[in-house]
Amino acid sequence: MKPKVLVIEIAAIDVLLQSRIESEKWFDNFSIPAEVSGLRLRYHAGVVLLSLNMGSPVPRVAVFKLEEGRLFDAIRADLRVEAFYRCLRAALSVFSRTVAIPTSWRPYHYKSRVSFQVAPKSTGDRARMCLDTRPAGELNAYFYEVDVEERDLKKLEPSFDAYQFAISNLKDAYATPAISSVPIEGETVAKVEASAVRNGESKMHLDLQDSFEDRITQGVQFQQWYDRRLSKRQREFVDASLTQSMRIRGAAGTGKTLTLVIKLLKSLYDAIGKQAPIRAAFITHSTATSELVRNLISDIDERAILYSPPAGVVLQISTLQEMANSALSYDLQNLQPLSSDGLEGRVMQMEIISSAMSDYRKSDWLVYKAGCSEPFIRYMEEEQDSPAFRYFCFELMNEFACVLDADGVRDSWERKAKYKTEKRRQWMMRLSTESERQVVLDLYAIFRKTLRDMNAIGADQMISDYLGYLDSFRWDVIRAREGFDVILVDELHLFNRQEQMLFHHLMRDSNQTPVILMAYDAKQSPRDTFVGLTAGEAEQVNFWRDAKLGEIKKFELVDVFRYTPQIQQALFLIDQSFPAVDLQEEWPPYSGISQIADGPIPSAYVVKDYKLLYEKGFVEAIDAVRELGKGKSVAILCLNAERFQIYIEVGKYREKFLPIVSREDISSINRAGKRFIVSMPEYVAGLQFDTVILMDVNQAEIPDSVHATGAKRRFVSNVYLGASRAERVLKIYATEDQGGLSEILTLPLNRGAISLESKTGLN
């Protein structure tokens, strides 16, 4: 008989999430190679079962209804693998508060049902998976239909026949012997397995021994980390009592995230030992980082807190946007969250701003032009396809996010008036006159209206609404039950002012000192969100005071565990090129000290144009993958957004790389196989690669204008961020047609920390 249902036990889901499925053909027979330790495939009377070799049935499972023996037949073939991984994550969200369905998947809820997009919006596909989170009143995940028409979820009522069939046959399925492939109708198991071995048809490869999380944790669990692996400063932070807020600062590679995870586990273990209830939240800036944190906890934790926490212990791992969506149910209003943390969201925002400027120049611009400076006028009237115009649009997007959104300047007359007259700080976009600021306010209003017309809501707007919710009577009533005793925040430098003002509101007891534990490195911020919080005179701008966190204890990490002394020296000298901005204590000199073996000196190359750069850089990456044997160990990181789009769309080497176009794509890296990674530094923040090829580190990336200070700071941050992703090999490329190598590399080149290689054969 044809298979009717696929059943995956909860413990097997994490294994599958770290696997690599090479082809959608895997869904024909669900083959599991014999060398995969622990994971087992069983088949009984139409039930396909994937489980760990634990000897007995588990109470929590995900059930997939099959159509004509196949999974996802209604989904486009090239999207089925992505759809499967999304379903696995959605299944985990049913069983644990440590996982949420990302808002970028546009989840809709109705009673116990939820639907979500099976593929990124950029694919053009709108198919949605329908999931029941309480089938027949039981705490399982039941994927019952693929909706290709975006119908009303209320009308997509599930039939539970397939689910009941799976549950009633589950015990017998566990009792059957493990097999390597599900037989096709009319074939025997033996025949299928012999054929698969003969033809090499297994399309699933599990790469569990060398995931990024494994390289961080080194296969060591909590007690050994706590007793012997932590540095002195990490241990001081982990041992500090939970009586006040703390901030831990360190250069890239100093182990900030790992230190937070160990601190979290120690806090939970201590509470369990005292039989004291504890509610903890681990807040990240992206879903991908949440997934990384969850995997780190899974690797280190010795008490299975993720799967079976003791009574009174609650752990939530999520982004603020996921918290906001859960509390305010944006999906019920059919609002589409607009990502600001990926290429798609950035492109959309740039298009909106460009269109707004085009319309504005025909109307109110004529009223304010006379009151604007000559550089501002020149930018406003540039041709729309020019680099200068695109740069100005990006500056406006940064101003919207890091000043206007962050300060809540929307419909408040008082805040608008203050914006037009207050002193601009050095890190901000240069706006010399009140007329220029009025133009920016007008463009901001058009931008926000366009979002409303699109039925879209920006991340900043979600946070603004969430702030209102946390200041409501409703939250006061449930705060003692739903609030937290301790909150840990990773990558604080990526959160803007509004987001950082949320943390103390989430504490369970508003009358006690907040316990917020924060890790950050201001120099890894590719935007001005964090810079804007810490710049300025102390009495005027003091985030640590304004965030109402009480007295905050400070810790500094200096030991680097990820890259060679040669890369560390290059980073030290690149650090010297950061522009002098009024950042006080948050902008200390680079102080990383590498603790790993020597490697080659980073090298720099100049080629004629982007076509030769593409050829040279991509061939270098292919050769590196051939040498290392793993694509996920090699990354091309591009510093120019327009060229990045060109590189990932060119067809010549398209099958050789995996594009990462947002932070949410990070989880797919473990499934890269022989493909190398192509991305931008900000999208792979927190990850490491053996070899990094930095492309378009060009002098032309920093405009020669009065607006250049902020642009230079962001560019240096991106170079620093990208270079610090390399563990052993760092190669830097620029093009002659864009001014050659950026001046920010002058010092490391002169000091021999980066070697300028011969141009022979490159152009």
User: Looking at residue 688, which CATH number applies to its domain?
Assistant: 3.40.50.300
pLDDT at residue 181 in the model = 83
Would you say residue 656 lies in a domain? yes
Per-residue pLDDT of 419-428, as tens digits, reads 888 887 766 7
- In this prediction, residue 632 has a pLDDT band, given cuts at 50, 70 and 90, of confident
Are residues 233 and 379 both part of a single domain?
no
pLDDT at 698: 93
Which of 346-350, 436-440, 498-502, 654-658 ranks highest by mean pLDDT?
A: 436-440
- 304 & 233 share domain: yes
Residues 401-405 have a mean pLDDT of: 76
pLDDT at residue 523, as a whole number: 73
In a domain, 18, yes or no: yes
Whether the per-residue pLDDT at 191 is higher than 70: the answer is no
Q: Band the pLDDT of 762: cuts 50, 70, 90.
A: very low
Over residues 551-565, the pLDDT tens digits come to 788 888 887 777 888
pLDDT score at 288: 74
The pLDDT of residue 154 is above 80: yes
What average pLDDT does the structure give for the chain? Answer: 82
Residues 25, 28, 34, 39, CA torsion sign: positive
**Quick one: pLDDT band at residue 285, thresholds 50, 70, 90?**
confident
Domain-embedded: residue 438:
yes
Select from 468, 762, 390, 453 the least CA-distant residue to 604.
762
Q: Is residue 362 part of a domain?
A: yes
Domain limit, last residue, from 160, 178, 205:
205
Which residue did the predictor score with more confidence, 582 or 488? 488
Residues in the chain: 763
Domain match, 421 and 475 both: no
User: What pLDDT does 124 receive?
Assistant: 77
Is 569 within the bounds of a domain? no
pLDDT at 315: 93
- Residue 703 inside a domain? The answer is yes
d(CA 744, CA 604): 13
Q: Regarding beta strands 141-147 and 486-489, do their DSSP bridges make them parallel or antiparallel, or are they unpaired?
A: unpaired
Residue 284 and residue 320 in one domain: yes
> Are 376 and 481 within one domain?
no
Give every CB contact of residue 526 below 8 A, 6+ residues apart in sequence. 681, 682, 714, 717, 718, 721
* Greatest pairwise CA separation for the chain in angstroms: 83
Domain-ending residue, one of 205, 226, 241: 205
Of 519, 575, 597, residue with least CA distance to 724:
575
The percentage of the chain sitting over the pLDDT mark of 70, rounded to a whole number, equals 82
Q: For residue 570, tell me if it sits in a domain.
A: no
Strand order across the beta sheet in which 657-659 lies: 657-659, 676-679, 634-638, 689-695, 726-735, 603-607, 755-756
Whether the per-residue pLDDT at 186 is higher than 70: the answer is no
Q: Look at residue 756 in the predicted model and tell me its pLDDT.
A: 93
Number of domains comprising the chain: 4
Whether residue 269 has pLDDT greater than 90: yes
Q: Are residues 695 and 723 in the same domain?
A: yes
Confidence at 281, pLDDT banded by 50, 70, 90: very high
Please give the average per-residue pLDDT across 113-124, as a whole number. 84
Same domain, 325 and 343: no
- For residues 612 and 750, membership in a common domain is answered with yes
H or E segment and range at residue 336: strand 336-338
Residue 742 structure tokens: 């950026």
pLDDT at site 534: 42
The pLDDT of residue 582 is 42
Residues 603 and 743 in one domain: yes
Same-domain check for residues 728 and 581 = yes
Burial of 734 (0-12, 13-18, 19+ CB in 10 A): buried
Instruction: Read off the pLDDT of residues 334-393 as tens digits, 9 standing for 90 and up.
Output: 666 665 555 566 667 778 888 899 889 989 999 999 999 988 998 899 887 777 787 788
- pTM for this predicted structure: 0.74
Residues 164 and 307 both lie in one domain: no
Task: Place 661 in a pLDDT band, splitting at 50, 70 and 90.
Answer: confident
Are 675 and 737 found together in one domain? yes
The phi and psi torsions of 19 (rounded to 5 degrees) equal: -95, 175
762 found inside a domain:
no
pLDDT band at 763 (very low <50, low <70, confident <90, very high): very low
Domain boundary among 515, 535, 561: 561
* Residue environment code for 685-721, b if the CB has 16+ CB neighbours within 10 A, otherwise e: bbbbbbbbbbbbbbbbbbbeeebebbbbbbbbbbbbb
The domain in which residue 413 lies consists of: 336-454
